[in-house]
Structure 1
Amino acid sequence: MKRILHVGVGPLGHRIIAELQERSLGHVIAAVDSAPHLAGRPLAEIVSNADPKVRIVPSLDAVHDWDHIDAAIVATSSGLPACTSTFEYLLRKGTAVISTCEELVYPWLRHVAIAEELDDLAKRHGGRLLGTGVNPGFLMDALPAFLTSVCRHVKAVSCHRIQDASSRRIPFQKKIGAGLDDAQFAAKVAEGSLRHVGLGESLHFIAHYVGLPIERWEENIEAVKADHDLNCGLGPIPKGKCCGVRQVARGYFDERVVVNLEFQASIGQRDPHDRVTIHGEPDIDVVIPGGVHGDIATSAIVANSIPRLLQAPPGLHTMATIAPPIHVRAGTERR
């Protein structure tokens, strides 16, 4: 069982810690969260199956016994700049770090200088850094890229992720604008707080690793409206109010769409599914009826990626530069 330092004990961090403990894949020996209502409390008060001897500390400076830490997990922010100082601290310790930071899945799109700095820091100190998750991190980037391994030629890639957000975490429901009116939705889109973070990163991940040149790309966001009264964790959503978001990213070459990604998540969404279509030789069309549950899959892929990252050379990695993660059973991580 790997000894884990966990940074960020919010709803997602809670799920990841519980996953590690339940599957006997990781023992969280240190936990960090700067939130005043969490710092100082026993971790077991937050995650019932956690080690009762571990107390949540407010900063990495309060963590000791670095030689006993096999890997760190960071589940704090979607934006790379907000996580950079944490990554730098951990990499200077030579730590292998897995993060759910969406922009870290393919950081060269928006943060080239930060990506180069983190890669250099990791290599100098023997650390490793990987951004992953279900989306971005798998369904709309790593999975389609992997599916092209059986293709002689690839002309275009298209992915659709259509989700019923009724059973998702409340923070996710807030993130997709559930319950807002048109003006509130537009204001949050304008300020950048309402969007699926990572769609552009997924698009450029596919383009880079599959070798599809892109001359320009675009991304559009619009509200999904409730066509009848709904209820969710946030409360009732009257007919006509926003119940979710539709976001589309397209990459063009010679005015032809070569990468098309469509993400839609809404309360009460009909016919949820995930679909990957490869236009090439041969054509491939893979559909997952019902779709993959995002919260379950995110904690699972983080846990399953730990052995692969530890096997990788030092540096900044993506899901295309480590060996593809597979389900890990306790005691078989080295197989």
Structure 2
Amino acid sequence: MPQAARPIHVVLFGLGALGSLVVRCLAEGYPLIRVVAAVDHDPAKAGRRLAELYPDFAGAGEIVVRGSLAEALAAAPVPADLLYHLTESAPERIERQLLEALAAGLDVLSASEAMFHPALRHADFAARLDAAARANGVTVSGTGINPGFSFDSVPLVLARATSGVRRVTITRAIDVTGTGPGDIDHVGYALWPREFEEKIASGRIVGHMGMPESIAAIAERLGLAIDRVEEKWETEVADFPVDSGTPSLGMIEPGRVIGITQTGLGLSGDETVIRMSLIMYYDPERFGIAAADTIEIDGAHHIRASLRPAALSLFGAANVIVNATADVHGAAPGLYDMLEAPLAGERRGGFRYVLDPAADVRPGAVPLKRVPSA
């Protein structure tokens, strides 16, 4: 009989808004993933027991949150296999963190938007990570909801049912209430409109960071010819206070940005081949916007699909990351493209079904027996 697989031992690096939701996700029951260490630079968290911060997480054990990765690994009860990187997005701010984890012999799964397809705009950064991962025999990758799911993985799965694709249009409308400080900093929520425009023009804010990467990935996979990606932003304000759902912003005063529509175009000459729109609002339904992911593929078989409500941004990203754990841990050393992962993902419960040899098979009934995954 096959033996049950050993759990993957993981490190939580970053216990902010997203890190906390990864813990919530793990608490739902992942027997093949075991947290063995946790890191956060926040003095309010470092030194405290994980069980104190997350009393409902049965997997917290006796783990103490440490202020550095080296301390966390030294205190881990067993060697760690993989690190969930859940801190920031910009390559220049995360490279040292990633390289430290790779040098420690850990696979790395990052939530940074820049890690989904880093070679496109950050070729040197990607090359350094790939070299470090290969040198240490480990894997590094990144994923999330967008990029990683709504703007790329889901459309590409749908496109498997058609051919002769000519055009792809994706619209994602989401509620950003509760978004963490890291996203607020680079997306530009709650600024005055003029301040938003000035910071977009100067590059101090970039909106959603992964849209060009998703457009390039779609074009590469579907064989669509484009020569450039262009982006534009539109903002919305309200004449009443809007609750941000985050302590750092609180109530957003009237006149500040409470909604951003970011559009990315994959162009061939003057023709739009791929169009992606991300509509990000606090409490969007209050403004007549339904939260939904809508995908339209113009090909031999015209496909139009919608996810209602839209995949949750933060909790959705947490689930995508956790469910990619085995994919990254089992991949070859180096920088790994999550679009190469198996379509159906890993068996989450660590088991498979076979016919139950002790039961009678009859028309209309298939008796099953659960056995461990090999």
Structure 2 length as normaliser, TM-score? 0.81
Q: Secondary structure at the match of 2:340?
A: coil
Other-structure match for 2:160: 149
Aligned-residue CA RMSD (Å) = 2.5
The reply to whether residue 110 of structure 1 matches residue 132 of structure 2 is: no
Q: Secondary structure at the match of 1:34?
A: coil
Other-structure match for 2:137: 126
Whole-angstrom CA distance in 2 between matches of 1:66 and 1:203: 43
Q: Secondary structure at the match of 1:154?
A: coil
Deviation at 1:240, TM superposition (A): 4.3
Whole-angstrom CA distance in 1 between matches of 2:281 and 2:38: 33
Letter in 1 for 2:137: G
Structure 1 length as normaliser, TM-score? 0.90
The reply to whether residue 196 of structure 1 matches residue 226 of structure 2 is: no
Other-structure match for 1:46: 53
Give unpaired runs (5+ residues) of structure 1. none
Q: Secondary structure at the match of 1:246?
A: strand
Identity %: 28
Other-structure match for 2:44: 37
Other-structure match for 2:64: 55
| Structure 1 residues 150-299: aligned runs within 5 Å | 150-166=161-177, 168-169=178-179, 171=181, 174=184, 176-189=187-200, 190-193=202-205, 195-226=207-238, 230-233=242-245, 234-237=249-252, 240-269=255-284, 270-299=289-318
Deviation at 1:257, TM superposition (A): 1.1
Letter in 2 for 1:247: Q
Other-structure match for 2:369: none
Whole-angstrom CA distance in 1 between matches of 2:243 and 2:219: 39
Indicate how the Cα distance of structure 1 residues 66 and 98 shifts in structure 2: closer, same or farther if over 3 A, else same.
farther
Letter in 2 for 1:68: P
Q: Deviations over 1:275-323 (max 9, x none)?
A: 1111112121111122111122111111111112222222211221222
Whole-angstrom CA distance in 2 between matches of 1:281 and 1:43: 53
Deviation at 1:80, TM superposition (A): 2.2
Letter in 1 for 2:123: V
Whole-angstrom CA distance in 2 between matches of 1:222 and 1:242: 10
Q: Secondary structure at the match of 2:212?
A: helix
Other-structure match for 2:25: 19
Other-structure match for 2:15: 9
The answer as to whether partners of 1:178 and 1:237 remain within 8 angstroms in 2 is no
The answer as to whether partners of 1:246 and 1:265 remain within 8 angstroms in 2 is yes
Q: Deviations over 1:179-237 (max 9, x none)?
A: 43223333443453361121122112212222223212211122122266543424444
The reply to whether residue 302 of structure 1 matches residue 308 of structure 2 is: no
Letter in 1 for 2:257: C
Other-structure match for 1:71: 82
Deviation at 1:66, TM superposition (A): 9.5
The answer as to whether partners of 2:36 and 2:77 remain within 8 angstroms in 1 is no
Give unpaired runs (5+ residues) of structure 2. 1-6, 353-372
Whole-angstrom CA distance in 2 between matches of 1:275 and 1:305: 23
Indicate how the Cα distance of structure 1 residues 21 and 268 shifts in structure 2: closer, same or farther if over 3 A, else same.
closer
Whole-angstrom CA distance in 1 between matches of 2:242 and 2:40: 35
Deviation at 1:252, TM superposition (A): 0.9
Other-structure match for 1:317: 336
Whole-angstrom CA distance in 1 between matches of 2:125 and 2:151: 24
Deviation at 1:9, TM superposition (A): 1.3
Higher-Rg structure is 2
The answer as to whether partners of 1:9 and 1:32 remain within 8 angstroms in 2 is yes
Whole-angstrom CA distance in 2 between matches of 1:285 and 1:197: 26
Whole-angstrom CA distance in 1 between matches of 2:77 and 2:113: 26
Letter in 2 for 1:14: S
The answer as to whether partners of 2:109 and 2:141 remain within 8 angstroms in 1 is yes
